[in-house]
């Protein structure tokens, strides 16, 4: 167990004890120190001293550590307990003691070894030393090179650390990997914890080249064992990511916690003022996804997120936070609005207050938004209105008092008001009803996610005439079994998209419950919003014509004009959908200001969801090819104000453009990729 620091009182007590009983600790020198560097991390090991109650201080230095005086110029990077080679997380899950493996081709460490994993933040030659302290008796600061201080330095480089394979699991079946994290960021490895050298597990199911990748989250208080599975499709890869906090709060809802949250206290006090919430866990999720992109030859356009309970929240928020990387999400009994009050689960509310502060504080986060904006579906539907989410299919319970029904109604209302789309089902289940015993069990098949791809647009449905009644928030006011957009479907193989035309086949569908099949309605009406557009251009102040044609005979059923709203969201109102199918066709009524010229297609394209901008807007950049891209903001005197984006690019990306810190007035956005460059004026309002 790694510790970042001792309290001042503990340090004073240790110093006093050392002065009083110094002769008693002269035999407390560790031995057999080793320092093995690979993949950006140094794995420091040593033989622990006999007995328990030891604390080991790990030091680094650029100069040889030869004696106690050398420690004055060394840096103490961590403190670990006397069972640091023991994998306590897996030991508790398996019911038998297991230890860490520090390299795939090496055996697990002996339980008597000590371990600290240090992530290199600079390239350097580094010496290590380990000093032992008996709690309450002070440190033995003697150094013996080759025994408790390394003889030779480790040649450390800033590299991208890799999860280290630990073992093959039989129940559940899969491969167990451990990623050691750091509290210090590098250009290749973000901080994923507020303490150094903490280990986190990820379970892997290996698939075949070109297979989809499924990211699974587990419930609060559970483990990655509970979510180590896929949809069952051939060739599929799966990652089950462990979210574990060794406190009474159990887990971070796959997001993170306040930077001063103490992982070594059973319970933290709720924050009453100030603070910053860091996305430590979400950074780890994304880092593992990047690792999968590099190491697992899956189809990057078929990455799906699933889970139940807290794992359902994991999938839901991934769909909202990273719709460019998540093709679709299937969620069961999730918490959707973590800032919602009143909260039916008082214990969960208290836990969130300890990790994040209360909704009244609504602390800032390292992602830019406030914590209860980033982790609340109502706020995301509003703030991310232009961008939208990856498609979400969700299942909820009217009688679920662990996560609550009233917050679902609040999200449904925001979802419909902002044309977010999604398909949702509810019945009379509670949080612990087995899925197979719920009314909508036949509709919960995970392979329905294969309908979605991150490189393909889709129709988001809103205000459908066949929706059930979800009531006012009181379960008694809702239909006992119902759905939102459940009766609507679209043909993913018949969707067509070009610069000036978007069309899709829509139809109503039958649904199956445990009590039987509910037939497809002969017709329904629904608002349709093209989402995740790849090529089709939606421009403000341009009218778009739409046609609705019956599939069997191409007869024109509807036609009209629609105009994008202030967030550049284009919605076709109340499309008449038939069980036999209709074809919805959308195109601009005129091409002035819409048609991309050949020259423009060879230049970066910049689009803002709103201009003028007050607060923030979605900034979309489409790059003409692959290569390094740069987006900068200049004032009208040609002075660079800030860099909006820098990095490798291809296709299109989306960023959040924020006006915080900018004076009102005119600015120029410049996007460059190689010799290709384009600019766009931006008006900032206060």
Angle between helix axes 280-295 and 310-321 (nearest 10 degrees) is: 70
pLDDT of residue 300: 95
Q: Residue 594 in contact with residue 537, Cβ under 8 Å?
A: yes
| Cβ(653)–Cβ(645) below 8 Å | yes
Cβ atoms of 317 and 305 closer than 8 Å:
no
* H helix or E strand, kind and range, residue 90: helix 88-94
What is the model's pLDDT at position 162?
97
Distant-in-sequence, close-in-space partners of 197: CB < 8 Å, separation ≥ 6: 2, 78, 80, 116, 117, 118, 119, 180, 181, 182
pLDDT of residue 230: 94
DSSP, res 420: -
Domain ranges of the chain: 2-156, 164-486, 487-595, 598-684
Q: Which long-range contacts (CB under 8 A, 24 or more apart) does 85-91 make?
A: 85/45, 85/109, 85/110, 85/111, 85/112, 85/113, 85/114, 85/115, 86/111, 87/166, 87/178, 87/199, 88/1, 89/199, 89/201, 89/223, 89/242, 89/244, 90/166, 90/176, 90/201
Closest CA to 509 of 523, 495, 529, 527: 523
Task: State residue 21's pLDDT score.
Answer: 39
Give the whole-angstrom CA distance, residue 621 versus residue 642: 17
pLDDT of residue 647: 84
CATH number of 164-486: 3.40.50.1820
Which of 3, 1, 356 is closest to 195 using CA atoms? 3
Q: 3-state SS string over 519-554?
A: CCCCEEEEEEEEECCCCCCCCCCCCEEEEEEECCCC
Q: What is the bridge-based pairing of β-strands 237-241 and 213-217? A: parallel
The per-residue pLDDT for 504 is 98
Per-residue confidence (pLDDT) for residue 596, from 0 to 100: 56
Q: Residue 301: its pLDDT value, please?
A: 96
267: which 2 tokens? Answer: 């319970």
**Residue 246 and residue 3 in contact, taking contact as beta carbons nearer than 8 Å:** no
Q: Which of 600, 575, 577, 624 is nearest to 680 (CA)?
A: 600
Structure tokens at 512: 């199956």
User: Residue 653 is encoded by which pair of tokens?
Assistant: 């990306």
Residue 25's pLDDT is what?
Answer: 43
Q: What is the DSSP letter of 185?
A: -
* Geometric angle at alpha carbon 387, from 396 and 329, rounded to 5°: 35
Q: What is the pTM of this model?
A: 0.85
Give 668's strand partners. 634, 681
Give the separation between CA 263 and CA 170, rounded to whole angstroms: 30
Q: Indicate the fold that domain 2-156 takes in CATH.
A: Immunoglobulin-like (2.60.40)
- Of 339, 335, 344, give the one whose Cα is nearest residue 316: 335
> Which CATH number among 2.60.40.2550, 3.20.20.105, 2.60.40.1840, 2.40.110.10 corresponds to the domain 598-684?
2.60.40.2550
Is the preceding omega at residue 490 within 30 degrees of 0, hence cis? no
Alpha-carbon distance of 684 to 680, in angstroms, equals 13
The per-residue pLDDT for 594 is: 62
**CB within 8 A of 559, min separation 6: which ones?**
545, 546, 547, 548
487-595 in CATH: which number? 2.60.40
In degrees rounded to 5, what are phi and psi of residue 295?
-105, -20
Average pLDDT per consecutive 10 residues, the chain (686 residues; last block may be shorter): 39 38 57 97 97 94 95 95 95 96 97 97 97 86 95 96 97 97 96 96 98 98 96 97 96 97 94 93 97 96 98 98 96 98 94 96 94 96 93 98 97 98 97 96 97 97 98 97 98 94 97 96 98 91 93 94 92 98 92 55 76 82 84 88 86 81 90 87 86
Look at the chain and count its residues: 686
Structure tokens at 273: 């003022």
DSSP result, 29-80? --EEEEEEEETTEEEEEEEPPSSS-EEEEEEEESS---SGGGGGGSEEEEEE
Rounded to whole angstroms, the Cα distance separating 678 from 603 reads 6
Q: Determine the Cα–Cα distance for residues 469 and 482; give it in Å rounded to an integer.
A: 7
Cα of 153 vs its chain's centroid, Å: 37
- How many helices (DSSP H) and strands (DSSP E) are in the chain? 9, 39
Domain 2-156 and domain 487-595 have a common topology: yes
- Listed in order, strand segments (DSSP E) in 224-365 are 237-241, 257-258, 277-278, 303-308, 328-332
Q: What dihedral angle (degrees, nearest 10) is formed by the CA atoms of 200, 204, 209, 212? A: -90
């Amino acid at each position: 167990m790694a510790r970042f620091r001792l309290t001042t009182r503990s340090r004073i007590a240790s110093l006093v004890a050392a002065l009083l009983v110094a002769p008693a600790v002269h035999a407390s020198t560790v031995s057999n120190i080793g320092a093995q560097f690979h993949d950006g991390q140094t794995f420091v090991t040593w033989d622990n001293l006999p007995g328990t109650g030891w604390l080991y201080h790990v030091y680094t230095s650029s100069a040889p550590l030869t004696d106690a005086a050398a420690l004055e110029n060394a840096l103490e990077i961590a403190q670990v307990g006397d069972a640091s080679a023991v994998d306590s997380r897996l030991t508790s899950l398996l019911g038998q003691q297991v230890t860490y493996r520090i390299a795939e081709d090496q055996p697990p460490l002996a339980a008597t070894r000590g371990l600290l994993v240090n992530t290199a933040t600079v390239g350097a030659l580094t010496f290590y030393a380990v000093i032992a302290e008996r709690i309450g008796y002070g440190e033995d600061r003697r150094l013996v090179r080759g025994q408790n201080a390394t003889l030779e330095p480790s040649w450390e480089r800033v590299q991208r650390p890799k999860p280290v394979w630990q073992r093959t699991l039989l129940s559940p079946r899969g491969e167990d990997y451990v990623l050691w994290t750091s509290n210090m960021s590098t250009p290749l490895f973000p901080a994923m914890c507020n303490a150094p050298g903490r280990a986190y597990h990820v379970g892997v199911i290996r698939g075949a080249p070109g297979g989809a990748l499924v990211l699974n989250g587990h419930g609060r208080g559970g483990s990655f064992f509970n979510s180590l599975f896929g949809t069952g499709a051939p060739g599929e890869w799966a990652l089950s990511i462990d979210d574990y906090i060794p406190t009474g709060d159990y887990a971070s809802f796959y997001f993170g916690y306040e930077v001063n949250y103490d992982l070594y206290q059973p319970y933290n006090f709720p924050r009453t003022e100030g603070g910053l919430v860091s996305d430590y866990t979400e950074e780890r999720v994304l880092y593992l996804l990047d690792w999968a992109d590099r190491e697992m030859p899956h189809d990057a356009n078929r990455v799906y997120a699933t889970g139940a309970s807290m794992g359902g929240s994991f999938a839901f928020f991934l769909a909202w936070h990273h719709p460019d990387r998540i093709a679709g999400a299937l969620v069961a009994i999730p918490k959707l609005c973590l800032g919602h009050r009143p909260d039916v689960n008082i214990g969960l509310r208290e836990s969130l207050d300890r990790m994040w502060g209360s909704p009244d504080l609504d602390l800032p986060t390292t992602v830019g938004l406030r914590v209860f904006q980033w982790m609340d579906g109502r706020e995301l539907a509003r703030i991310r209105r232009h961008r939208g989410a990856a498609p979400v299919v969700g299942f909820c319970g009217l009688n679920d008092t662990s996560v609550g029904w009233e917050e679902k109604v609040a999200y449904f209302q925001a979802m419909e008001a902002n044309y977010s789309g999604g398909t949702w089902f509810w019945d009379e289940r509670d949080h612990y009803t087995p899925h197979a015993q719920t009314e909508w069990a036949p509709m919960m098949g995970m392979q329905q996610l294969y309908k979605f791809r991150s490189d393909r647009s889709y129709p988001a449905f809103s205000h459908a005439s066949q929706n059930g009644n979800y009531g006012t928030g009181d379960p008694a006011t809702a239909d006992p079994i119902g759905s939102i957009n459940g009766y609507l479907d679209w043909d993913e193989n018949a969707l067509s998209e070009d610069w000036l035309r978007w069309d899709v086949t829509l139809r109503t569908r039958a649904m199956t419950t445990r009590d039987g099949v509910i037939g497809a309605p002969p017709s329904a009406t629904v608002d349709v919003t093209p989402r995740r557009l790849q090529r089709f251009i939606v421009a403000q102040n341009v009218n778009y014509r739409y046609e609705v044609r019956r599939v069997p005979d191409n007869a024109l059923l509807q036609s009209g004009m629609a105009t994008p709203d202030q967030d550049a969201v284009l919605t076709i109102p109340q499309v008449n959908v038939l069980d036999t199918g209709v074809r919805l066709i959308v195109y601009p009524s005129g091409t002035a200001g819409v048609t991309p010229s050949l020259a423009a297609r060879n230049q970066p394209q910049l689009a803002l969801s709103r201009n003028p901008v007050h607060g923030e807007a979605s900034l979309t950049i489409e790059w003409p090819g692959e290569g390094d891209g740069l987006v900068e903001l200049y004032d009208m005197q040609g002075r660079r104000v800030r860099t909006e984006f820098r990095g490798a690019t291809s296709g299109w990306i989306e960023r959040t453009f924020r006006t915080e810190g900018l004076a009102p007035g005119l600015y120029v956005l410049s996007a460059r990729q190689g010799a290709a460059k384009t600019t766009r004026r931006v008006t900032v309002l206060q």
